[in-house]
Every structure is written in structure tokens, then in C-alpha cells.
Structure 1
């Protein structure tokens, strides 16, 4: 439907499939469905699971600091990591969180 320019019709189906895959524990398929959902114009659905359960402790802290607007260099200075390592943690955290840009970190609840 989305490829045939019927994105609004595809939105509820893509959201439902993403939620179903997530409930089944099929994370790669859920990420794919949610990515297609966003590509069709849907807003990122709010995840019921805690962010802390999705990320490693390092990824969680890096993501928390990045959500506050700190740069990779500033995060690295606080955590005694290189900016490149900070970027690597964010690179691994984004798919787990179902986001694609740094600005979307602000919408997540890290508490």
C-alpha cells in the first residue's frame, strides 16, 4: 500500500504489525515494521517497555546524556570515553529504541 502511494491506508496495518512483532519478541521484524510505519508518515509509537530494559548500562547513560543535548565530546568527557565510542553506543542504541535521529531521544522517558 505504501509503495502504491496509499500510505494513510497502510499506517494502521504497519503499526499493528510492529506492535504484534514486538509482543512476540521478534525485535528485528518489529523495527522493520516501525521503520516502514515512520516512512509512511506515522509518528513513532510510544513504547510501553522501559528504556532501561532495552539498553546496556553504557548505552542507557550515553542516550540519557544525548537526550539532554550534550555533544559526543561532552558525553565522552563526562564518562571518560572517546567521542567515537559515544557515537558507537548511540549507533547501537537507536535501533533498539526504534528511533533514527538524535532529536527523537528527547521524546523518550529515561526514568
Structure 2
């Protein structure tokens, strides 16, 4: 949906239909930013800027330096999935899952999962 809004907004801007274009591009920018699609969010922001709109550049959230696979593993672990469930969901072996979790813990400075789950 966001990609469609971006393409529609680009098309409308090139036809100088400013009033219609801003709604499409703002919506696309917000959706891409929420999804973490920084390149598309920036593209939408630049198109908005070209219409005269002032969309602030968002500072990236503190990036712990996780790879996309590590981020997926961490997200599933944070949701309470077991190692076997994570491995099955991501089509990994259990040992690969454990490897990714160990890297995530090291990069985030977590010793054990209990440190995160317990208050």
C-alpha cells in the first residue's frame, strides 16, 4: 500500500497536482518509516520536499547493529517463542537459532534472557 501511495504521489507531483500529492506522499512516508524501510521513506520525504512541504528527517532509532536475520530471531524471542519455534518459523536449525541469539545477546549486552524478561 505504501509503495502504491509513493508511486501515485510521484505521478501526481509531476503533473503539478500539489493538493492531492501531499496526502499520498505523507501517508507513504509515515508507513515506510513505521516499517523501517528507510530508503523508501527518504524517497517519499524528498518528493514531499519537492512539493514545498517540510517533512522533518527522522533520526534513526538506536541501531544495535543487528543483521536482519538476528533482528527477526530477537523479535520472535522477545514475543516469547522457544528456540524450536523460532527455528521452525525461520526455517533454521535449532543450533543456528542459538548462534543468532547468542550474537544478539552479546551485541545488546544481555547475559541471559531472564535479565530481559524479569523486572
Q: TM-score, normalised by structure 1?
A: 0.46
| Higher RCO structure (Cα 8 Å, ≥6 apart) | 1
Q: TM-score, normalised by structure 2?
A: 0.43
Which entry has the higher C-alpha Rg, 1 or 2? Answer: 2
